[in-house]
Amino acid sequence: MVSHMPTTDSESTHPGLTIEVYRINPETLERTPVRSVRFAPSDAPVYSLEFPPCECPRCGTRPWGTR
C-alpha cells in the first residue's frame, strides 16, 4: 500500500515547489514564461495564523488540544 503522508526526513527526493507564471497568446496558443520561482522543501511544517496546522484525521490531533 502506498502512503500518502508527506515525508519529513531531510534525505527526501522531493524537488520542492515550483510556481510558474506565463502568458498564452490567444492566436497561436504559444506559452511565454513570465516568472518562475522555486521553493526548496521544508524540514518542518509552518505553523502560524496564516498557515494553521492540519486538522484532518490523517494528520492526527491538534497540538493545542481540543476545542
- Domain ranges within the chain, ordered by starting residue: 14-42
Note the pLDDT of residue 17.
Answer: 86
Note the pLDDT of residue 64.
Answer: 55
Q: What is the largest CA-CA distance in the chain?
A: 56
Q: Tell me: the pLDDT tens digits for 21-30?
A: 999 999 999 9
Contacts of 54 (CB under 8 A, 6+ apart): 45
Note the pLDDT of residue 44.
Answer: 73
The β-bridge partners of 38 are: 18
For the record, the C-alpha cell of 21 comes out as: 507564471
Q: Tell me: the pLDDT tens digits for 14-23?
A: 678 899 999 9
Q: Is the pTM value of this prediction over 0.75? A: no
Start-end of H helices in 12-56: none
**Sites in the chain below the pLDDT cut of 70:** 1-14, 45-47, 49, 60-67
